[in-house]
Structure 1
């Protein structure tokens, strides 16, 4: 019992000491973040000061006795633009000119004539030094004592390079100034105080002490940090008694004491656990198999028999994973074969008809048209047998244009095809040869009996989805009664099937049609900047 008590005492003392040191170290990091926030606030305010000091209209407002109507309009515009610079700074701006003019951003600061402000103790204190920028503490009103909330004042002398023509003052309420540290420090654990160089408390978690005097000896044991360019020092005192209570050290000590009393039983328990834990681990891992998790192998440990079981289980997982990997690989290969087969299904009659038409052009001595047709045919064949499965939209449109050139040999100029596409989309990737079959359908089925017609191809991107619309003004069909040749043809069926294989059922080729109004085929795929994730 005595030994157990001594052990508890040592553990409690060491735990308290370690926990307190660790908390103080972590609090150092928090205090550094607080110092950085105050520095950022000061930098933001100084940027506004620089802006004010370099605006001619502000100088004119604070120096000249009279201003023209145009100058007043410019001033109002400038003040309106200036407001956006400090809208994120929790402060109130006051401008004071040597000509007697003042500007108040809001009603937080009591409004006084410039003559009274310039004669105030605060301005006298400000003018005692040659520094342009100062940070001062105001406990009440600018002119007289009042119950106004204490403020931190950021001040700047506005000069024309030689003489001071005005003053810019930022008033920040102490409650807003202190929010920077109260938001990061637990008030039940921390007593935080900020002193200026006159040893006056300018901000504190104990609000009743603000404005009173204190010395650094009053903060023995507190963590200290200088607030950058401020004439302030922050003292943070941690209430260690509250901190230790939060450790629940008494409960921990009781647990340790009870553990000491049953040490022999605990020792037996751990011996038993050492023998049986590998078995229980194996049971847990086996249950994961029902959740399709075959990658969680177990660590080989325990008795000889347990190790044999573990080895057998790991070997089984390796075999299962190998089997699944082979299935996935075979499925991907079948997937690629299906897509490539669909991609290669170009109607052989088209090739025959195209070559025959070219031959006729040669017989008719239309060599220029024949040469153009041959070039289009060569380019189309090159892209058809190109090993790339995904190509930029711009290349796909060029393939389609070549195809249209070949169709004109057979159909003449009675069907006009126009492409409308923004060049900014031409870098997007898509499976090749998905526009050409739809244009072919339009020529074959939309304009029977030598009808004239128009085919238009549009591309657009909306919410990261690429839409390609192929619109004809042909005979159309009734979608409620039949699907018509548009979708019964190999071309569009293949395109829709390919796109759903690649991207899922939300994508594909969608058709809308009305009798004697025409047909719209819309291709919908993700707008991809790089190669698609799956092998196309």
Structure 2
């Protein structure tokens, strides 16, 4: 009996040892239907599961390495572009071309912001970046676009996701201001007991009321109910980022203005807010 037990157990040990040394395809030859055979079948099943797990881990590690390399390349490209733009800016300054050197300076500021898009920013910093963005869009679209900023001092240090306002301004330019004779965008912030409201208004063409109702209905849905199948993807991205930062009560609402144009109002409840940065402390 001891000999009959010793031989299959020895085979079990040999299979486990070979598997541990890297032969992931090794399996035990199972014969009969006794307890030893059942043990062997269980061992084979366990080795199958271990082999799949090892394969999944290897795939995951390979994917991680690829993603890390891609992230590194993405970081190198913008830095290379920024350094190149800086050289061009210096050449323009030497030739006293202040207009184009200023535009390149604005572009460099935006590129640096995109590199740090996962870092928060204050409302004051966001409006400064919008100024750079508007400078670029004025040249690109050849329009005399004006940006007016009126911030409640109590809200200037409000911490926001970086570049949260840029898609709203971009929508205003593309959908209502490109063909306007005197295009203007106004940004206002006001603080109240329940939260902060930021309004981005323009004097463009406005929108159809039924279309606005449809957009507001979609933007008001919880993030998990969004179908994503409509054209204002940038606005939905803004709403989702706001709710991640300020909670599910954060909202974005569009409205036509009585004097013409449109407004986009962000409501940010203070109960979920991360905080404010005192003046002079941002980078």
- TM-score, with structure 2 as normaliser: 0.52
Distance 2:198 2:251 in 1: 11
CA contact (8 A) 1:460 1:466 kept: yes
Structure 1 pair 407–366 and aligned structure 2 pair: CA distance change class (3 A): farther
1:438 to partner: Cα distance: 0.8
SS in 2 for 1:458: strand
1:502 to partner: Cα distance: 3.4
Distance 1:451 1:427 in 2: 34
Deviations 1:381-437 (A, max 9, x none): 111221653222111111111111211212345321111113332222111111111
The reply to whether residue 530 of structure 1 matches residue 260 of structure 2 is: no
Give 1:244's aligned residue. Answer: none
Distance 1:473 1:372 in 2: 26
CA contact (8 A) 1:475 1:515 kept: no
Match of 1:493 among 236, 249, 262: 236
The reply to whether residue 446 of structure 1 matches residue 176 of structure 2 is: yes
Q: How does 1:246-257 map to 2 (within 5 A)?
A: none
Q: How does 1:24-39 map to 2 (within 5 A)?
A: none
Give 1:457's aligned residue. Answer: 187
Structure 1 pair 421–373 and aligned structure 2 pair: CA distance change class (3 A): same
Q: How does 1:369-448 map to 2 (within 5 A)?
A: 369-386=99-116, 388-448=118-178
Structure 1 pair 366–382 and aligned structure 2 pair: CA distance change class (3 A): same
1:448 to partner: Cα distance: 4.3
Distance 1:526 1:366 in 2: 48
Distance 1:512 1:384 in 2: 29
CA contact (8 A) 2:141 2:178 kept: no
If asked which structure has higher relative contact order (CA below 8 Å, sep 6+), I would say: 2
Distance 2:177 2:259 in 1: 11
Distance 1:388 1:469 in 2: 23
The reply to whether residue 505 of structure 1 matches residue 235 of structure 2 is: no
1:481 to partner: Cα distance: 4.3
CA contact (8 A) 2:123 2:159 kept: yes
SS in 2 for 1:480: helix
Structure 1 pair 387–489 and aligned structure 2 pair: CA distance change class (3 A): closer
CA contact (8 A) 2:152 2:191 kept: no
The runs of 5 or more residues in structure 1 that have no matched partner are 1-350, 532-536
Distance 1:496 1:410 in 2: 27
**Which is higher, the Rg of structure 1 or of structure 2?**
1
More helix, by proportion: 2
Distance 2:184 2:109 in 1: 24
The reply to whether residue 479 of structure 1 matches residue 209 of structure 2 is: yes
Q: How does 1:273-422 map to 2 (within 5 A)?
A: 367-386=97-116, 388-422=118-152
CA contact (8 A) 2:154 2:191 kept: no
Give 1:470's aligned residue. Answer: 200
SS in 2 for 1:394: helix
CA contact (8 A) 1:472 1:519 kept: yes
Distance 1:441 1:414 in 2: 17
Deviations 1:440-488 (A, max 9, x none): 111111124354322100011111412110001111112324657x983
Q: How does 1:46-445 map to 2 (within 5 A)?
A: 367-386=97-116, 388-445=118-175
Let me know the Cα RMSD of the aligned residues: 3.3
Match of 1:518 among 261, 271, 275: 261
Distance 2:117 2:204 in 1: 35
Structure 1 pair 454–368 and aligned structure 2 pair: CA distance change class (3 A): same
SS in 1 for 2:206: coil
Deviations 1:354-389 (A, max 9, x none): x9xx99xx7xx7721121111111111111221653
Distance 1:473 1:380 in 2: 25
CA contact (8 A) 1:497 1:508 kept: no
